[in-house]
């Protein structure tokens, strides 16, 4: 058995071991073709079959209705943040943004050059520890869409309420897609970079209500048009074929593990265990996010004295617990608990935290 550590990285993140083993076994000779999947044309029948199967599996996993298109795109989640205004808003049209953390701010920044991007509400005043109450949101009557971040990967803030608005809701699900059942019909568009819950970096998934593809949007090259990608099954140009393959293997793994219902239960239970350990530490560890919006996927936490951070990370590393350093925007620690992370990793982290407190408390 190769050496594998417990990897709490926020993304690119841990991948399921069975997926890596399969990819390794198939690397020199995929499907008896005598070549790897990375060495064949995306227009070849075996690759087109792989792509269609990945789409079908994603539709099954996330219960995507038929009137939604599924796209596999390059350029990550950030590119989608830039494409959204170009594709769905007229030049200068209003678009509303609910800003609940760093990635909501990024989405707003990407949109500013081509729409009248308005902050419907922002958690900035609370240091992104809270989500402004629905009654405080200022939604524009003429907004092309309302953009939200389902899960803020850095600030550890997750929207837990169903969002209702007159404008279609466009949601960044990069760090929580497939972590629990979601009603796709509640959204006009869902997008996610794959590198957290779906697979490797270099590919993003976009789920769009087909009727929205008829919007004129803004002058743009064909490669920037979602409708063109949809019309050509995401093969307008050479797609990231190997990433698509790995993503497909991850989808099959998630389905075999019981799908989003099973992950939803598992993820809620283990996030609750970790938060309970933090809250029960008598202030040695703390998470400052309002309990109602604490993320199940990304748990930022602080030690009571920042001088202990380096020692905490060093000792964690000795126990094969890696990727725990917090993002520089907030500091401290962050444990990302994506689907492919084993339960044993969370238990090992909690055990280590208790022990570290005993020796440094």
Q: Which residues bind ligand PMP (CB under 6 A)?
A: 11, 76-78, 103, 149, 153, 172, 174-175, 193
11 versus 156: smaller Cβ distance to ligand PMP: 11
Position closest to ligand PMP via CB: 76
11 versus 217: smaller Cβ distance to ligand PMP: 11
Is 149 annotated to bind a ligand? Reply is: no
Task: Based on the residue annotation, tell me whether 244 is a catalytic residue of this protein.
Answer: no
Is 103 annotated to bind a ligand? Reply is: yes
Is 238 annotated to bind a ligand? Reply is: yes
103 versus 253: smaller Cβ distance to ligand PMP: 103
Return d(Cα 241, Cα 233) in angstroms, integer: 13
**The one catalytic residue among 30, 103, 244, 253:** 103
Tokens at 101, concatenated: 């953390």
Cα 300 to Cα 68, 74, 334: the distances in Å are 34, 29, 4
Least separation in angstroms between residue 30's CB and ligand PMP is 26
Chain mean position to CA 276: 24
Return d(Cα 251, Cα 175) in angstroms, integer: 15
Instruction: Tell me the angle at which helices 17-26 and 241-256 cross, rounded to the nearest 10 degrees.
Output: 130
Least separation in angstroms between residue 190's CB and ligand PMP is 12
193 versus 199: smaller Cβ distance to ligand PMP: 193
- Whether residue 267 contacts residue 275, with contact meaning beta carbons closer than 8 Å, is answered with no
**The one catalytic residue among 30, 172, 244, 325:** 172
72 versus 284: smaller Cβ distance to ligand PMP: 72
Tokens at 33, concatenated: 């073709």
Task: Based on the residue annotation, tell me whether 137 is a catalytic residue of this protein.
Answer: no
DSSP letter at 29 equals: S
Is 14 annotated to bind a ligand? Reply is: no
Cα 119 to Cα 79, 175, 186: the distances in Å are 20, 22, 21
Return d(Cα 203, Cα 175) in angstroms, integer: 14
Is 172 annotated to bind a ligand? Reply is: yes
Listed in sequence order, the DSSP H helices in the chain are 17-26, 45-62, 76-88, 102-111, 226-231, 241-256, 259-279, 309-318, 343-360
**The one catalytic residue among 30, 196, 244, 253:** 196
Return d(Cα 163, Cα 133) in angstroms, integer: 11
Is 153 annotated to bind a ligand? Reply is: yes
Is 279 annotated to bind a ligand? Reply is: no
175 versus 267: smaller Cβ distance to ligand PMP: 175
Least separation in angstroms between residue 208's CB and ligand PMP is 17
Least separation in angstroms between residue 173's CB and ligand PMP is 8
Which of helix, strand or coil describes residue 224?
Answer: helix
Q: Which residues pair with 147 in a beta bridge?
A: 97, 170
Task: Provide the 10 A C-beta neighbour count for residue 103.
Answer: 23
Task: Based on the residue annotation, tell me whether 103 is a catalytic residue of this protein.
Answer: yes
Q: Which residues are annotated as a binding site?
A: 43, 77-78, 103, 153, 172, 195, 237-238
Q: Which residues are annotated as a binding site for pyridoxal 5'-phosphate?
A: 77-78, 103, 153, 172, 195, 237-238
Catalytic annotation, residues: 103, 172, 196
């Amino acid at each position: 058995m190769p050496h594998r550590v417990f990897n709490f990285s926020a993304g690119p993140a841990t991948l399921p071991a069975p997926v890596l083993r399969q990819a390794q076994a198939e690397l020199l000779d995929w499907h008896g073709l005598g070549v790897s999947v990375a060495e064949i044309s995306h227009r070849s029948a075996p690759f087109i079959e792989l792509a269609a199967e990945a789409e079908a599996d994603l539709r099954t996993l996330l219960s995507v209705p038929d009137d939604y298109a599924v796209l596999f795109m390059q350029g990550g989640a950030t590119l989608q943040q830039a494409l959204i205004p170009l594709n769905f808003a007229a030049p200068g049209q209003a678009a509303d943004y609910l800003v609940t953390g760093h990635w909501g701010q990024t989405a707003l920044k990407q949109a500013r050059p081509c729409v009248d991007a308005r902050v419907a509400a922002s958690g900035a005043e609370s240091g992104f520890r809270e989500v402004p109450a629905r009654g405080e949101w200022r939604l524009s009557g003429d907004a092309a869409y309302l953009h939200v971040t389902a899960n803020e990967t850095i600030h550890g803030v997750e929207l837990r309420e169903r969002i209702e608005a007159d404008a279609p809701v466009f949601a960044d699900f990069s760090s929580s897609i497939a972590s629990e059942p979601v009603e796709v019909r509640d959204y006009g568009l869902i997008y996610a970079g794959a590198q957290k819950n779906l697979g490797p970096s270099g590919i993003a998934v976009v789920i769009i209500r087909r009727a929205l593809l008829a919007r004129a949007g803004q002058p743009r090259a064909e490669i920037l048009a979602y409708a063109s990608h949809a019309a050509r099954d995401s093969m307008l140009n050479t797609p990231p074929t190997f990433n698509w393959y790995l993503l497909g293997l991850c989808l099959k793994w998630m389905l075999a593990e019981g799908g989003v219902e099973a992950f939803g239960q598992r993820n809620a239970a283990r996030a609750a265990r970790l938060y309970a350990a933090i809250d029960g530490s008598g202030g040695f560890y703390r998470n400052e996010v309002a309990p109602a919006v604490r993320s199940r996927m990304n748990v930022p936490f602080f030690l009571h004295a920042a001088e202990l951070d380096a020692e905490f990370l060093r000792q964690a590393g000795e126990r094969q617990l890696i990727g725990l350093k917090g993002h520089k925007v907030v500091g401290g620690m962050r444990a990302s608990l994506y689907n492919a992370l084993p339960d044993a990793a969370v238990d090992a982290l909690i055990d280590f935290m208790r022990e570290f407190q005993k020796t440094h408390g």
